[in-house]
Amino acid sequence: MFKSSPSEGTDSHHGAANTASKVPEHIAIVMDGNGRWATQRFLPRVAGHKKGVDAVRETVKNCARRGVKYLTLFAFSSENWRRPIDEVNILMGLFAMALEKEANELAKNNVRLRVVGDLTAFQPKLRELISKAELITQNSTGLVLTVAANYGGRWDIVQATQKLVSEHPEFAQNPLKITEADLAAKLVMAYAPEPDLFIRTGGEHRVSNFLLWQLAYTEYYFTDVFWPDFDAQAFDDAIRAYSGRERRFGQTSQQLLVATQA
């Protein structure tokens, strides 16, 4: 297992340095390893994706159990369209099935669902299911579950820039007036705090164009566990690793110590 921390610098989102609390407020996950999980068991890749849906359900429960307020899952990237068409169709079908099956259950458990990404690429029926599921859960006040679908971090920054200039034409004339806060407010996840903990399963050590802006000061945790096997123990291992991190946000350990003693 490989674990790393982001480098030091300034952080406009948090505003002040702090140490990692035992439970992160926001967890973002790249759910990797479904296909390899299936291949190791001499099963078709679809079996891994179906088992991965069970892991999503389990992770939502574990976040609620731990008191996590935001969970963001990378379900389908803008690059995933390059996969074989049969697999893409299977993924779309599983997404639609999960939306239909899980929305009422999420609402019953006070979980709010939000789906972010360039949804215009999806079939009208799928977009309708997304809207319906979000509507069903809109009054939930507990965990906010965000599913990133046809999402890319570069796309997010571009669309935020386009929206900002469209809404504020004066910025086109004087771009030096644009601040980080201006742009951050137009990102598709402006409703949520930046992730405290990023988890990637499946043994790969990269972020793969996920939340590029938002992960600037997130703690990274990589595990060899394939997503279908990411159970309560694996989840707790990630939380335990996170709780041992010192989050300095550009300050020194001594400065943090002084601040806690003040």
Q: What does each of the 262 residues of the chain score in pLDDT, given as a tens digit?
A: 334 333 333 344 443 345 455 899 999 999 999 999 999 999 999 999 999 999 999 999 999 999 999 999 999 888 888 888 988 998 999 999 999 999 999 999 999 999 999 999 999 999 999 999 999 999 999 999 999 999 999 999 999 999 999 999 999 889 999 999 999 999 999 999 999 999 999 999 999 999 999 999 999 999 999 999 999 999 999 999 999 998 765 656 665 556 666 6
**pLDDT of the residue at 7:** 35
Query: Six-digit token pair at 123?
Result: 């079939």
Cα distances (angstroms) measured from residue 123 to each of 89, 93, 119, 246: 11, 11, 9, 45
Please name the residue that has the structure tokens 């890749």: 45
Distance of alpha carbon 102 from alpha carbon 106, whole angstroms: 6
| Concatenated DSSP letters of 97-110 | HHHHHHHHHHHHTT
Burial of 170 (0-12, 13-18, 19+ CB in 10 A): exposed
> First-to-last CA distance in the chain?
37
Asked if 152 and 209 touch (Cβ cutoff 8 Å), the reply is yes
Distance of alpha carbon 88 from alpha carbon 78, whole angstroms: 12
Distance of alpha carbon 39 from alpha carbon 85, whole angstroms: 19
**pLDDT of the residue at 80:** 86
CB environment 128-155: b (16+ within 10 A), e (fewer): ebbeebeebbeebeebbbbbbbbbbbeb
Catalytic residues: 32, 80
Residue 90 CA to its chain's centroid (Å): 22
pTM: 0.86
**pLDDT of the residue at 35:** 93
CB environment 28-62: b (16+ within 10 A), e (fewer): bbbbbbbbbbbeeeeeebbbbbbbbbebbebbbeb
Distance of alpha carbon 110 from alpha carbon 49, whole angstroms: 26
Instruction: With H, G, I as helix, E, B as strand and everything else as coil, classify residue 64.
Output: helix
Alpha helices in the chain (DSSP H): 34-40, 45-66, 85-108, 124-136, 153-167, 170-173, 180-184, 232-243, 253-261
